[in-house]
Structure 1
Amino acid sequence: MTLKKLHRRNILLAMPALALSPLTVAAETAPPAEDRETAPRNLSSFRAQDWRDHFDDLGLATIVADTTSRALHFWSGDGSDYRIFPSSVPISEDLTKRGYTKIVRKRVGPDWTPTPSMIERNPDLKYMPPGPDNPLGTHAMYLSWPAYLIHGTHDTRKIGRRSSDGCIGLYNEAIAELYEITPIGTQVRLI
């Protein structure tokens, strides 16, 4: 048996293959996506919630906005319809309000007025009528907390990220769907 002499060139040529081999093994042995409890990236990392963990009953309908997984969960009043939507969440903890509230008003084509704290952070912000530059997107559902909403966004890069000034944002298609099935008076919990 002859031993090949290890040359630095041979080692350098073999390094990419050696570096990739653990990834190949990990990919081959990882459970299928539907069997994983959470995924590495956010838009697919959320999982089903149980409304009973948050409310005594479903009421007219129920929404739970999970700021950790960045998902919004909806249940119809009779429990027959459960939907989950990817969402944007507040940029920071000081802008994140948690607790119980409800939908008090809904609007298609909302206009937007920045809050005093937003103007303090960015003095260039001004009122915006409905349209493609409006940060509230195509639909808005107003919560009983002043200046907090569940709304759409024209900037799809925001979904799945910490990107809002306190609101919960959805893709415009998702907020239109949620808007249609959510009655005023729907109970909401932000966790």
Structure 2
Amino acid sequence: MTDTRFNRRTALIGGAAALTTLATPGILRAQDVDGARRNSSAFVTQNWQDHFDTLGKGAIVCDTASRAVHFWNSNGTDYRVYPSSVPMTDELTRTGYTSIVRKKVGPTWTPTANMKRRDPSLPDFMPAGPDNPLGTHAMYLTWPAYLIHGTHDTRKIGRKSSSGCIGLYNAKIQELFALTPVGTQVRVI
């Protein structure tokens, strides 16, 4: 009887160990996907030289595939990566080159006509504050109605959840806002 119990226990423990090893999610292991090395958070490491000729005042790459914002300062000594929300659909995603033309602490929000068509319950205007979808800080791009901004709704970060903008946690947009001068070049991919 002792041998039977020992054998069952051994089998159960061994089986559980094997199952755990086999079932370890791929996201926990670094892996090569489409030739790009991805880490546990699924961010793809970017090099500014792959996107810009020079750093100028600084550079930002908004990677909609990995849902990350990459920042480099003007001399390349400061590189930071932030998790972000991205547009809900490809139709709402504008890609290409732009730059930061204005920055605002405590932004107000006016939904676009397309946003109002998709959701008629949206207000015509929202002042700065805890209910404002632009969060605490916003950086405006040369493209009208496209911004890099904060959000009070932290569930949106890491998801396809915006109407075209790139969203960051409020603490992270505050940090990026302080680092980023007007004129910083931006590429959305």
Q: What is the TM-score of this pair, normalised by structure 1?
A: 0.83
Distance in 2, matches of 1:117 and 1:177, equals 31
Distance in 2, matches of 1:64 and 1:135, equals 22
Runs of 4+ in 1 over 4 A off after TM superposition: 30-33
Distance in 2, matches of 1:22 and 1:140, equals 49
Distance in 2, matches of 1:69 and 1:130, equals 29
Structure 1 equivalent of residue 34 of structure 2: none
Q: Does 1:138 align with 2:136?
A: yes
1:80 to 60, 77, 81: 77
- Residue 189 of structure 1 aligns to a residue whose secondary structure is strand
Distance in 2, matches of 1:64 and 1:152, equals 16
Structure 2 equivalent of residue 120 of structure 1: 117
Distance in 1, matches of 2:145 and 2:187, equals 16
- Residue 163 of structure 1 aligns to a residue whose secondary structure is strand
CA positional deviation for 1:131: 0.5
2:56 to 52, 56, 59: 59
Structure 1 equivalent of residue 178 of structure 2: 180
Structure 2 unaligned spans of 5+: 32-36
C-alpha distance after superposition, 1:105-126 (max 9, x if no partner) = 0000000000000001111111
Q: Does 1:24 align with 2:20?
A: yes
Distance in 2, matches of 1:141 and 1:74, equals 14
CA positional deviation for 1:23: 3.0
CA positional deviation for 1:169: 0.1
> What CA RMSD, in Å, does the superposition of the two structures yield over aligned residues?
2.4
Q: Output aligned runs, 1:155-174, within 5 Å.
A: 155-174=153-172
Larger gyration radius, structure 1 or structure 2: 1
Q: Is the 8 A contact 2:62 2:188 kept in 1?
A: yes
Q: Percent identity?
A: 61
Distance in 1, matches of 2:22 and 2:162, equals 36
C-alpha distance after superposition, 1:12-63 (max 9, x if no partner) = xx99x85x554323368x8975x554356xxx11032001100001010000
Structure 1 unaligned spans of 5+: 5-9
CA positional deviation for 1:69: 0.2
